[in-house]
Structure 1
Amino acid sequence: MSTVTFKTDPGFCPDCGSILPLLVNVGGVACYSCKRNWGIEVFGDMAVSYTLNFNSKDAYASSARQGEAADDEDEAEGPVVERRCPQCQNDKMSYATLQLRSADEGQTVFYTCTKCRFKETENS
């Protein structure tokens, strides 16, 4: 039985032509399709680099002043609508929607008061 070797681009299996996984261990890389093992040279002179960016520890903190309620629509968590907050009686709330129930039912709407940050939900 003879094997056929393809002329392939770096990153493809020379035996079967499948894309090789980038997970390279000490012994090289194994093709998922034909199970043949290849050395790192099968990737040619391809260089793979990763850049990891880390957020600062307060990146997700509210842009509002700490301990104070935000009263500005620019700091809302989504589009703002006229809806009365049951807690502070503010007349503006931001909202976001998600499809949490089955597809033939309505969305769930999450409202957040722009003043006191009170949250409530509504199944529409």
Structure 2
Amino acid sequence: MAGVFSSSTAFCSRCGSILPLLKEFGFVKCYFCKEIYGAENFNNLKFQYTIHFNSVSLENHKDIVNMDNPEGPVVERKCPKCGGERMSYATLQLRSADEGQTVFYTCISCKYKETENS
């Protein structure tokens, strides 16, 4: 792979774009510049990804954050099981893109879980 860029086999050496995964056809074609790479360039290629989340110091926010280990951001929402007034939530796009997201709520007090399609 000779080109303008010095890169690993995950990137196009001609334009620097990320390359798609090797398909069953035995070659990879860059989406951007259309450069073609043979399968021999990808022997023993392994990818490893590590995602690092930001850590937050709660020392200065003890009055804002419930210290009972909420599982996400906290909102004022009544728990149908125990009547607690606060629940943490997380959102995911589980349905098609033209529909709303799914919200997963967890009670801070009793850990009861419920979902809502928004």
TM-score (structure 2 length as normaliser): 0.47
TM-score (structure 1 length as normaliser): 0.45
Looking at CA atoms only, which structure, 1 or 2, has the larger radius of gyration? 1
